[in-house]
Amino acid sequence: MSHQESFINYLKYEKRYSHLTAIAYKKDLDQFEEFYVKTIGDFNVEGINDKIARMWVVELMDKGISARTVNKKISALKSFYKYLLRFEVVKENNLDNVIVPKVRKKLPQFVEEKNLDHLLDDGYFGKDFEALRDKLILSLLYGTGIRLSELMHLKDADIHTSEFLIKVLGKRNKERIVPYPRSLNQLIEEYKSERNRLFGSTAECLLLTEKGKPVYEKLIYRVVNKYLSMVTTLDKKSPHVLRHSFATHMLNRGADLNAVKEMLGHANLSATQIYTHTSLEKIRKVYRQAHPRS
């Protein structure tokens, strides 16, 4: 087994990274190895150093790869190198001096509150199985702020209708409990009734395709894009936009930042603070209304 394969197994089974995250790390390391072989010759982990890493950065930037993606790839390489150091495959850290391009912080895009209310309340969805499922997908993503992967793996037992709570298995297999809107109970029951009528009540996953199989990533993307296109002109219409919308609207209505952090499943408060930018508009509005010289 190569060092790269051993590292990916370490991420999956010891660090408990998700399958998708492990795949992303593997892809980045495979690309670096390809560059190393093309530039230096036979791949040798002991030959990895800041010089070759900087050369890789230059090539990636010349290809038009975004600064954010370049940073992600270098981060994967550094994580791999730390793993090699930990298990004494290499003796010293040769990647300390890698300079990566600065990333401009993008403010998260979100859908206006009134537009989502219009979508979910004003008859955009029918009453057949597919329509009920699609409405439940959007309602759960916006109503709880959970990630796409977390939504895909929800089971019936994870939804506690008497308490209006869902149990979510998040990144690195960390469980958390998230409230959901009380109004969702009726939709959940209608959907489950139709699902069970069509496919029986033995399904392991809450959300199924029209063929009775668990929903998959591309299906959820298609559903979200289809319905958000009806109420917004945002360039990006993804499940993560609904997560952004959840956090933004909660903070705009005065939610505690730490509480939103816990609901989103963020490890650090800094990841949640990016959503506070939208609250500035609310502050300006209050200022204009209240200050005598505004």
Q: What is the CATH number of domain 113-286?
A: 1.10.443.10
Amino acid at 191: Y
Distance of CA 13 to the CA centre of its chain: 21
Q: Which residues contact 122 (CB under 8 A, 6 or more apart)?
A: none
Angle, vertex CA 3, rays to CA 173 and CA 10, nearest 5: 15
Look-up of token digits 């609310």: 282
249 is catalytic: no
The pLDDT assigned to 125 comes to: 95
The pLDDT assigned to 170 comes to: 85
The pLDDT assigned to 293 comes to: 67
153 is catalytic: no
Exactly one of 237, 243, 249, 261 is catalytic; which is it? 243
Exactly one of 73, 133, 147, 249 is catalytic; which is it? 147
Burial (Cβ within 10 Å: 0-12, 13-18, ≥19) of residue 21:
middle
Q: Which two tokens stand for residue 172?
A: 């690195």
State the 10-residue block means of pLDDT for the chain, 294 residues long: 90 88 94 94 90 92 91 93 89 82 78 95 94 98 96 95 93 89 95 95 90 96 97 93 93 88 88 71 67 66
36 is catalytic: no
147 is catalytic: yes
Long-range (24+ apart) CB contacts under 8 A made by 206-210 are 206/154, 206/155, 206/156, 206/158, 206/159, 207/133, 207/136, 207/137, 207/151, 207/152, 207/154, 208/133, 210/129, 210/130
DSSP string, 255-287: --HHHHHHHHT-SSHHHHHGGGGGHHHHHHHHH
135 is catalytic: no
Range list for CATH 1.10.150 in the chain = 3-86
The pLDDT assigned to 156 comes to: 95
The matching CATH number, chosen from 1.10.1740, 1.10.8, 1.10.150, 1.10.3470, for 3-86 is: 1.10.150
Give SS3 for 169: strand
pTM value surpassing 0.85: no
The pLDDT assigned to 284 comes to: 66
Range list for CATH 1.10.443.10 in the chain = 113-286
The pLDDT assigned to 188 comes to: 97
13 is catalytic: no
* Cα separation, 125 vs 52, whole angstroms: 54
